[in-house]
Amino acid sequence: MSRTSPYRLLLLPISWLYGLGIWVRNRLFDLDILPSLTYDLPVISVGNLTVGGTGKTPMTEYLVDLLVPHHQVAVLSRGYKRLSKGLQVATPQSGPDEIGDEPAQILHKHPTTILVVDANRR
């Protein structure tokens, strides 16, 4: 016998509403009602693998490993938990307090990579 958590039953309609909201948002982008951003150079966005702590930094490092031998690579990050504010362009001396721990890790492993942190990644 399986027991269904009462939380599951409570959250099920909320998950349907969330799914509907995402579907509407995506349709608004598809119909050009919400604007999409375009850039003059190739962009690979690593995000939303799932919410929080599930592999975005390792995936970014993997992509940097693949691309650095053939391309000039730049990594943009929010710099989660950094103490600094605003846009920061990392230097070899940048540390976790200035750019965040995960960007500092990427910069340490890939010192030739341009690394920029800002809450607004546009």
Q: Residue 72: left if φ>0, alpha if ψ -120 to 50, beta else—which one?
A: beta
Residue 41 falls within a domain, yes or no?
no
Digit-coded pLDDT (tens) for 72-120? 999 999 888 898 999 999 998 999 999 999 999 999 999 989 999 998 8
Residue 80 falls within a domain, yes or no?
yes
Q: Are residues 31 and 77 in the same domain?
A: no
Helix (H, G, I), strand (E, B) or coil at 1: coil
Q: Are residues 28 and 73 in the same domain?
A: no
Q: Are residues 22 and 62 in the same domain?
A: no
- Count: domains in the chain: 2
Q: Are residues 66 and 104 in the same domain?
A: yes
Q: Which residues contact 49 (CB under 8 A, 6 or more apart)?
A: 55, 56, 59
Q: Are residues 60 and 20 in the same domain?
A: no
Residue 50 falls within a domain, yes or no?
no
Q: What is the mean pLDDT of the chain?
A: 89
Q: What's the mean pLDDT in 16-25?
A: 95
**pLDDT of 51 strictly over 80:** no
pTM of the predicted structure, to 2 decimals? 0.71
| Domain encompassing residue 107 | 56-117
Helix (H, G, I), strand (E, B) or coil at 98: helix
Residue 14 tokens read as: 């909320």
The rounded percent of the chain whose pLDDT value lies above 90 is 63
